[in-house]
Chains A and B, each alone.
Chain A
Amino acid sequence: MGIIKSFKKNFTWFKKFFKKKRARIGIYGPPNAGKTTLANRIIRDWTGDAMGSVSQIPHETRRARRREGVTIDSNGSSVTLDIIDTPGLATRIDFHDFMAFGMSEEESKRRAKEATEGVIEAVKWLDDLDGVILVMDATEDPYTQVNVTVIGNMEARKLPLLIAANKIDLPTSSPARIHSAFPQHPLVPISALEGQNIDMLYKEIADHFG
């Protein structure tokens, strides 16, 4: 280990000892990865409330939602978070995709317009965070550009990142595939919908962002 790195590590420990345990954490991921389902579960488990509505139709969350002061206690560690549930990141938004779900053309175009604004807002939030929970759909290819972009951003800023490999309740899920793609980051396989491994996620959140 380098001399400076060793000093920085000790200094980080020193800072950690004295710092106020409150971090602003963004929940990121592609559309339909389960970000809002996870945000709802976290908020419900620790405050009894909910964050927002969920839907099978992509881009249901088109404005970032923020919940302040969520305290998570796990295994003796405690962390208070401001949680930002962000709209799904994407590089393409075609209103025809919404029409395939039975929406009218007018409604689809409006949703597409709002979704583009939501993506811009999600990107802008990256500048104001202390860490990210990146929600990946464990049934999908992990090397999507959204995942590569979010991970690249966090690594460039040297901010903590925790991967939630979601949808492990589905038979085709493979958290191992995600782990082999991004082995440098901690990963918790979860089902945000059914609550599988959610306590393990809380422990990682408290350890990682505390």
Chain B
Amino acid sequence: MKGIQLDLISEDKLDGMTPMEKVRLILDEVRNGKILILEKGLTPSEQNKLIELTMSEIGPDDFAGIEIESYPVKHNTNFFNKLLGKTTLKTRLTVIGQAAQLKTIKKDRDLISAMVSP
């Protein structure tokens, strides 16, 4: 059967990886033609790393970059955080693929609609 491979990576797996391991895994898999769905997205600093590394690997003949879409981060204010006046940010589901393969059609706070092409 021919098709596009979709890999869904769990939050537990992502939690056990360093930022650089995550970014390297994403770029390697995406460049191999896979579409990745991360149960828990990347932190803002990981997103920066991913953008930087993606830019450094773009070449005119083989790789034009990635399409990445995630829901906006959620502000997590539980009782103790409220008491301390603290807000923690919770990253959310993220879809990543090669720019040539994945195209976002529509996105809002709770929906990501995308087209995948071989």
Residues of A bordering B, CB below 8 Å: 1-6, 8, 89-95, 109, 112-113, 116-117, 119-120, 123-124, 126, 141, 143-145, 148-149, 151-153, 155-156, 181-182, 184
B58, CB-defined interface residue at 8 Å: yes
Return the contact of A91 from the options B43, B51, B73, B82 (Cβ within 8 A). B51
| A5-B84 in contact (CB<8A) | yes
Residue numbers in B under 8 Å from A182 (CB-CB): 72
| B44-A90 in contact (CB<8A) | no
Q: Known: A145-B69, A148-B72, A181-B109. Contact between A93 and B48, CB under 8 A?
A: no
Return the contact of A112 from the options B43, B56, B60, B99 (Cβ within 8 A). B60
Residues of B bordering A, CB below 8 Å: 43-45, 47-48, 50-52, 54-56, 58, 60, 64-73, 75, 82-86, 89, 91, 99, 106-109
Query: Which chain B residue lies CB-closest to A95?
Result: B60
Alpha-carbon distance A1/B84, docked complex (angstroms): 9
Return the contact of A152 from the options B44, B54, B108 (Cβ within 8 A). B44
| B58-A93 in contact (CB<8A) | yes
The 11 sampled A-B contact pairs (Cβ below 8 Å) are A1-B85, A2-B83, A8-B85, A91-B50, A91-B99, A92-B64, A92-B65, A92-B67, A152-B91, A155-B75, A181-B108
Residue numbers in B under 8 Å from A116 (CB-CB): 55-56, 58
Q: How far is the CB of B89 from chain A (nearest CB, A)?
A: 6
Query: Which chain B residue lies CB-closest to A151?
Result: B72
Q: Known: A91-B99, A143-B108, A182-B72. Contact between A126 and B65, CB under 8 A?
A: no
Residue numbers in B under 8 Å from A152 (CB-CB): 43-44, 47, 72-73, 89, 91
Residue numbers in A under 8 Å from B69 (CB-CB): 145
Given contacts A93-B64, A145-B68, A153-B48, could you give 13 more A-B pairs where the C-beta distance is less than 8 Å?
Answer: A2-B85, A2-B86, A4-B83, A91-B54, A94-B64, A112-B58, A120-B51, A126-B48, A143-B108, A148-B71, A152-B43, A155-B44, A156-B45
Residue numbers in A under 8 Å from B64 (CB-CB): 92-94
Q: Known: A141-B106, A151-B72. Contact between A156 and B43, CB under 8 A?
A: yes
| B55-A119 in contact (CB<8A) | yes
Q: Known: A93-B65, A94-B65. Contact between A143 and B51, CB under 8 A?
A: no
| B55-A156 in contact (CB<8A) | no
| A4-B85 in contact (CB<8A) | yes
| B73-A155 in contact (CB<8A) | yes
Residue numbers in A under 8 Å from B67 (CB-CB): 91-92
Residue numbers in A under 8 Å from B82 (CB-CB): 2
Q: How far is the CB of A99 from chain B (nearest CB, A)?
A: 11
Alpha-carbon distance A184/B73, docked complex (angstroms): 12
Query: Which chain B residue lies CB-closest to A147?
Result: B72
Q: How far is the CB of B94 from chain A (nearest CB, A)?
A: 9
Alpha-carbon distance A91/B47, docked complex (angstroms): 10
Query: Which chain A residue lies CB-closest to B70?
Result: A148
Shortest 6 CB-CB contacts between residues of A and residues of B: A5-B85, A92-B65, A2-B85, A92-B99, A94-B64, A152-B44
Residue numbers in A under 8 Å from B89 (CB-CB): 152, 155-156
